[in-house]
Structure 1
Amino acid sequence: MKNITVLKGDGIGPEICKEVVRILETLNLDLNFELHEVGEACYEKTGALIPQSVFDSIEKNKIVLKAPITTPIGKGFKSLNVQLRNKYDLYANIRPAKSMPNVKTPFDNIDIITFRENTEDLYIGEETMIDENTVHAIKLITRGASERIIRAAFDYAVKNNRKKVTCVHKANILKLSDGMFLNIFNEIKGDYPQIEATDMIVDNTCMQLVMRPEQFDIMVMPNLYGDIVSDLTSGLIGGLGLLPSSNLGDDFALFEAVHGSAPDIAGQNKANPTALLLAACLMLDYLGYETEATKIRTAIDDVLIENKVRTADLGGSSSTTEFSDAIIAKL
């Protein structure tokens, strides 16, 4: 029996988490789900955003399925997502954006994977108030972190028969930091002669993604660009409700939806559980349950093709529970 630490999150988190676990349990796999509260709701009850019991569970199980956690904007506590990534050195944030059937978007056949370095860049959160009108923020890029995310992207391309890896950067302006990231990419690409390797400035990348997205396959980039560009790729396939994410390190793995906690619809049984369910599929792949992951993905596709049950973000009026029931019926 493999134990999975499940973090229920904030806002819509507990609702979509409940449904995803329910779907997973219908497969009767040798998995046990340990559910934990974290975030704002947990803080109100216990005085801790992440109780020690959660850390203990993660360090015992090493596999985490996480629902969205609220991060205050411009004030309050630092992102718990970033804290977890740093604490467990989850250096590779992998976000696959793939077109889904019967979801109308300007583009068809999108299949783009973003490899986002997950531990440094501006996300280290080191800011200094120089005076009341001036703030300095530190952007950290290191050779070690850059090498491992770039190699992870190329290794994934080789393993999964992908054809191309594009390095996304701003080395024309940030000649030292992004310049080093690009230089390391150019060093490493020689070890993978079978993979086409290109680079593109981040602003041009954003334009090209909404004009000719078919030119992209795998993209690898520093932390901040990865966060922004991967959200852009979600727009190509129908929105954040369809974009999953894996956060991988050498010893731990965390799987999550990319979208936020959507407090405006929390508790209303309206949220789309697809992104978290697809994240759970990434977890099943990681655990060696590729066949079962494919079954879930096929069930999602079948429900979308049938077009009888879909949530509001996809143009329907079905509830979270109804959508999950439809998935289970297909399984």
Structure 2
Amino acid sequence: MKSVAVLPGDGIGPEVTSAALDVVEELSLPLDLRFGEIGWECWRQEGDPVPQRTWKLLTETDTCLLGAITSKPLREAEAELPSDLRGTGRTFVSPVIQLRQRLGLYANVRPVVDLVNTRFDFTVIRENTEGLYSGFDFHGLDDALWNLVGQHPNAQASGPEATSVTLRLQTEFGMDRLLRYGFAYARSRGHRRLTLVDKPNVLRHSGNHLRERLESIAGEHPDIEAEILNVDAVALWMVRRPERFGVLVAENMFGDILSDLGAGVMGGLGLAPSGNIGDHGSYFEPVHGSAPGMAGQDRANPMAMLMAMAQMLDHLDLRVPGDELRAAVRSVTARRATVTYDLGGTSGTREVARAVAGELGVTEAGTGAAEDAEDVADRLARLDSASVSDALDSLGVGGVLAGITPRVPGTRAAGRAFTVTYQRVDRNRTGFRNAANYLDDVPEGSFVVVDNAGSTTCTNWGSLLTRLAQRRGVRGTALHGSARDITEIRAAGYPLFSTGATMVSGKNRVELAATGQNIVIGDVTVRPGDIVVGDDNGVLVVPVEYATEVAARAESVQRTETAIAKAVAGGQRLDEARRRFGYARPWDNGGSSSSSHV
């Protein structure tokens, strides 16, 4: 059992934290949540934004989940103290700075993930304790500092009293532990490149020192490519080619700027999580601020907090449920039907949280939820058919349409079955049979399944039908028969699967027998409304009554195998990785529906 200090903060912090916890609670995780206080209200009432009882809680727990916290300038902070505490010398120091310094949290870890197209997945790791943010910031210079900068013509024109200096502190101790953490992080997640971000062509001496430390420590990690790039070039490529990067390591100020740029690249601060890690402590938080003006309006985006929770689960060695939670956030974000105002939607905080919970296959009460067929088809479309097949096997359900193979490589689709049955034309009758006119009545979101008894003597599909199907929003076609115009269909990128391919027209050879009837292909029955899934492996059918559970189990399979692959790439033995991530029954490891609470 892992213990977590939950500090909801202030402004929108408590409502975002509460909504996100309602989602994570349904994963039935071995967590002991212990709530505490931190932030602006503690300052206003007690003159201390991090009370001693909160420090005690942090020493008694394994990690911390932190909500957003309000900070205000010196005068405003003093003005909001109780009258008996004003003028007593109390100074407001940001709670996050206090946590980082007192707990020794030297690595600020900011994942940057494409939640819509999965094009990039990299992490910015920022040094937290030194660099240009180490606190050596002076205005009005003493003799020692004036001797350093006094020869600069602008300093000479201003004089020591009107000159400011900030020192960039970089120590071998600080650099080495950050670089070692970066390499370990890269290996644990299967990244093969670590990029050190600096400005060595301008900051020559400190930059060269950093470069020397990188070269020394990179020698301990020959399996990971190490490079050093200028910060301005990295900023450009983060926007133009974010998929280039794996792990970015930077000193404090450069990392601060790049991590917020990363939030913009992934869609905004409402999606961006953060972790602060040390040798003996950690906390996880959304990157966005407390937005006190929005508090209580149910408008704040809970996804950054959910992503921070997923990051926390990774840290607690609960990688599979962490991946499940990220996948659920990704599904809701990609669909865009239930998102908050910052992502162009109109949904509230709780509504978005419920949508994410729905992707996990649970309701707010924690019971299994029956999903709309189109929604579960969307989930299945994002999964490979091998994972779906494993899920079907685990339930004792067959579903593979044997002999029906992909004709358009690289396509993947899932939709509700619209069944069509053909029959041979009586040779004593002649003329065009209008055999494909059924397509005008196929509903959007359907997956057409045609049964022509597996015949390869004539076609049941071609380029004209493909164009019409695409216009009508049909998701794909599976033929127990043959297709033609394969080159044109491939150019259209339409998901087509068939038993065979031939150029011989079927317009005078077959006629429509029925639509909307059960079809038997091999030993599998396809019923109208069942979910058909197709990709490069072939086609299978998921009975609609099993669809939600199959999707949940298949997601668990896929997340588990991804976690195992990353662990093996990081040097772990395959048998150890399989045991660790529950390879034999992955749906029992935080991925299936559950009514238990944290």
Superposed pair shares fold, TM > 0.5: yes
- 1:80-229 aligned at under 5 Å gives the runs 80-101=95-116, 109-130=119-140, 133-229=162-258
**Which whole-Å deviations, capped at 9, do the CAs of 1:5-63 have from their partners, x for residues lacking one?**
11112221111111122222222222122222211122112221111011000011131
The amino acid of 1:86's aligned partner reads: Q
What value does the CA root-mean-square deviation take over the aligned residues? 1.9
Tell me, what secondary structure is at the counterpart of 1:192? Answer: coil
Alpha-carbon deviation of 1:212?
2.5
Structure of higher RCO (CA pairs closer than 8 Å, 6+ residues apart): 1
Contact between 1:278 and 1:297, CA under 8 Å: does it hold in 2? yes
1:200-254 C-alpha deviation (Å, 9 max, x unpaired): 1112221222222232221111111111101111111101111111111111121
Measured in 2, the distance between the counterparts of 1:155 and 1:295 equals 23
The amino acid across from 1:39 in the alignment is: G
> Shift in Å at residue 182 of structure 1?
2.1
2:582 is matched with none
The answer on whether the counterparts of 2:4 and 2:61 sit within 8 Å (CA) in structure 1 is yes
Conserved 8 A contact 2:115-2:334: no
Decide whether aligned partners of structure 1 residues 214 and 304 sit closer, same or farther in structure 2, where only a CA change above 3 A counts: closer
The CA distance in 2 between the partners of 1:293 and 1:155, in whole Å, is 19
- Aligned partners of 1:98 and 1:110 also within 8 Å: yes
CA contact (8 A) 2:194 2:226 kept: yes
Matched AA of 1:215: R
Q: Offset of 1:173 from its aligned partner?
A: 1.9
Residues 59-115 of structure 1: CA distance to partner in whole angstroms, max 9, x if unpaired?
11131011122233587633321221111111111111010127xxxxx61212111
Task: Report Cα offsets for 1:253-291 as digits up to 9, x if no partner.
Answer: 211112222233222111111111111111111212222
Moved more, 1-10 or 126-135: 126-135
Q: Which moves more between the two structures, 242-251 or 290-299?
A: 290-299
Partner of 1:17 in structure 2?
A: 17
Determine if contact 2:105/2:277 at 8 Å carries over to the other structure.
yes
Say whether the 8 Å CA contact 1:122–1:224 is kept in structure 2. Answer: yes
Which residue does the alignment assign to 2:39? 39
How high is the sequence identity, in percent, across the aligned residues?
39
Decide which of 268, 271, 276 is 2:305's aligned counterpart: 276
CA contact under 8 A between 2:200 and 2:208: conserved in structure 1? yes
Shifted more, 276-285 versus 255-264: the winner is 255-264
Match of 2:349 in 1: 320
Between stretches 230-239 and 25-34, larger displacement belongs to 25-34
For 1:92, the aligned partner's letter is: A
- Structure 1 gaps, min length 5: 103-107
CA contact (8 A) 2:19 2:302 kept: yes
Q: Check whether the contact 2:332–2:356 (CA below 8 A) recurs between aligned residues.
A: yes
Distance 1:203 1:101 in 2: 26
- Alignment length (residue pairs): 326
Are the structure 2 counterparts of residues 128 and 143 from structure 1 closer, same or farther at C-alpha, using a change threshold of 3 Å?
same
Equivalent position SS for 2:110: strand
Secondary structure at the aligned position of 2:27 is classed as coil
Query: Which residue number in structure 1 is paired with residue 89 of structure 2?
Result: none
Bigger Cα Rg: 2
Aligned to 1:297, which of 326, 347, 358? 326
Asked whether the equivalents of residues 2 and 316 of structure 2 are also in contact (C-alpha less than 8 Å), the reply is no
| 1:286 pairs with one of 315, 318, 327 | 315
Equivalents in 2 of 1:70, 1:135: separation in Å?
A: 28
Residue of 296, 300, 307 corresponding to 1:267: 296
In 1, Cα distance between the equivalents of 2:9 and 2:312? 18
The answer as to whether partners of 2:193 and 2:225 remain within 8 angstroms in 1 is yes
Contact in 2 for aligned 1:20/1:277 (Cα 8 Å)? yes
User: Partner letter of residue 283 of structure 2?
Assistant: L
Runs of 4+ in structure 1 off by over 6 angstroms are none
Aligned residue type for 2:112:
A
Structure 1 pair 308–84 and aligned structure 2 pair: CA distance change class (3 A): same
SS at match of 1:191: coil
* Larger deviation, residues 134-143 vs 194-203: 134-143
Q: Distance in 1 between matches of 2:309 and 2:316?
A: 10
Please, what TM-score do these two structures have when normalized by structure 2? 0.52
Alignment equivalent of 1:234, drawn from 246, 252, 263: 263
Give yes or no for contact 1:110–1:237 (8 Å, CA) kept in 2.
Answer: no
* One-letter amino acid matched to 1:60: E
Q: Which amino acid aligns with 1:114?
A: V
3-state DSSP class of the match of 2:219? helix
Whole-Å Cα distance in 2 between the matches of residues 89 and 125 of structure 1?
Answer: 15
Change (3 A) 1:46 1:177: same
Distance 2:334 2:200 in 1: 43
